[in-house]
Amino acid sequence: MPPGSTSPREARPGWLTAPAPVPPEHYSAAPACRKAAAAWLDWLGTERRCSPHTLAAYSGDLARFFDFLTRHLGGVPDVAELAALRLADFRAYLAQRAGEGSAGSSSARALSVLRSFFRFLDRRGLAQNAALASVRSPKRPASLPKALSAEEAGEVLGGAEGADEAPWLGQRDLAIFTLLYGCGLRLAEALSLARREAPLAAGMMRIVGKGNKERVVPVLPAVADAVAAYVAACPYPLPADGPLFRGARGGPLNPRLVQRRMAEIRRLLRLPETATPHALRHSFATHLLAAGGDLRSIQELLGHASLSTTQRYTAIETAHLLAVYDKAHPRAKGG
């Protein structure tokens, strides 16, 4: 283990609340379908190590599909009816979602959920449906991570200390935002840190991210100083195995409070609505890339499973270069 690093947690900290999946027994489906859905969700959680948020989203999508089938078929579906579904049935489901205003990205995820579920049914010898493979996925809108400029990120960190309630709350918010921007952490990763894992000195820190995947990130002196200042100022006891970040009354800090604080800073600084806590993580990656960081290293620091996810940041940098060109080059306006 690198010097100054912390040990990874074996499981999600108990102080972090997570959405609950839709119980399969509530699905509008025959008992055999509900039993298969329960086994699939269990497989996703144990074998695929999906996060609670993913399980909640996937179970909701599957429940919605069964609701559709119940209306579409005129009764609760059983496993045999799942195997008999035609291409037109799946298209009707996507058409209904579009008619209800679902975004293309949301319907694309719902279709991905169905493919995962039906592959599971096939592997278990419960049902096989070849029609699903012919369904074209809805187009996802081309979206880029919304990063702040280096100046805007600095302004956010500066504004974090201006908490009205108590000075230590400002130091807490600064520590969190500095972890997001200085280490590229997700908000949930920062709030899952235990007191014994607090990076109080520059060095390396182990993080357990999505799917319980571990990664090691460097801790800059500015990050360590911000966290140490918060720990020293926090008026509540911080047991080694308890949450590092506390709310105003001493309980575990709710992520919504961090998002609300970011919204307050955003309004004061007149930043766009895209200036969220997660935007600080995007800014970490974008600014590293602009400074010459290579994609593979940035991928490891962010904990991305696929390099294609990290490659989105090259589009941001290209867009920035084009903006500079359009603004500064004498020939950019056709002159």
- Give the range with max mean pLDDT: 202-206, 212-216, 307-311: 202-206
Q: Enter the tokens of residue 129.
A: 């449906």
pLDDT mean across residues, the chain: 84
Give the pLDDT confidence score for residue 28 in this predicted structure. Answer: 95
Query: Worst-scoring range by mean pLDDT, 18-32, 208-222, 244-258?
Result: 208-222
Task: Give the count of beta carbons closer than 10 Å to the beta carbon of residue 319.
Answer: 11
Q: What is the DSSP string of 44-60?
A: HHHTS---HHHHHHHHH
* Residues 33-40: contacts with CB under 8 Å, at least 24 apart: 33/66, 33/76, 33/77, 33/78, 33/79, 33/82, 36/79, 36/120, 36/121, 36/124, 36/126, 37/62, 37/117, 39/120, 39/124, 40/116, 40/117, 40/120, 40/121
pLDDT (mean) for 122-141: 88
Q: Enter the tokens of residue 329.
A: 């080059």
For the stretch 176-207, pLDDT in tens is: 999 999 888 989 999 999 999 999 998 888 88
Give the pLDDT confidence score for residue 7 in this predicted structure. Answer: 39
Give the pLDDT confidence score for residue 10 in this predicted structure. Answer: 42
Question: How, if at all, do strands 214-219 and 203-208 pair?
Answer: antiparallel
Query: pLDDT tier at 314 (50, 70, 90 boundaries)?
Result: low
- If one looks up domain 150-328 in CATH, what number appears? 1.10.443.10
Give the pLDDT confidence score for residue 9 in this predicted structure. Answer: 41
Whether 280 contacts 266, CB under 8 Å: no
For the stretch 262-299, pLDDT in tens is: 999 999 999 988 899 999 988 888 887 777 766 667 67
- Confidence check: pLDDT of 334 > 90: no
For the stretch 56-81, pLDDT in tens is: 999 999 999 999 999 999 999 999 99
Catalytic residues: 186, 210, 278, 281, 304, 313
Residue with structure tokens 């400074």?
Answer: 291
Give the pLDDT confidence score for residue 104 in this predicted structure. Answer: 79
Q: Which residue has the higher pLDDT, 23 or 320?
A: 23
Query: pLDDT tier at 230 (50, 70, 90 boundaries)?
Result: very high
Q: 310 phi and psi, to 5 degrees? A: -70, -30
- Is residue 217 classed as helix, strand or coil in its secondary structure? strand
Q: DSSP 3-state helix, strand, coil percentages of the chain (rounded to 5)?
A: 60, 5, 35
- Give residue limits of the domains in the chain: 24-134, 150-328
Report the distance separating Cα 45 and Cα 305, nearest Å: 17
- Is residue 167 classed as helix, strand or coil in its secondary structure? helix
Give the pLDDT confidence score for residue 277 in this predicted structure. Answer: 93
Instruction: Please tell me if the domain spanning 24-134 has the same topology as the one spanning 150-328.
Output: no
Under CATH, domain 24-134 is a member of which superfamily? Answer: Tyrosine recombinase, N-terminal domain (1.10.150.130)
Neighbouring C-alpha atoms within 13 Å toward the C-beta of 289: 26
Whether 140 contacts 112, CB under 8 Å: no
User: What global pTM score does this model have?
Assistant: 0.61
- Confidence check: pLDDT of 335 > 70: no
Q: 233 phi and psi, to 5 degrees? A: -90, -20
Neighbouring C-alpha atoms within 13 Å toward the C-beta of 201: 7
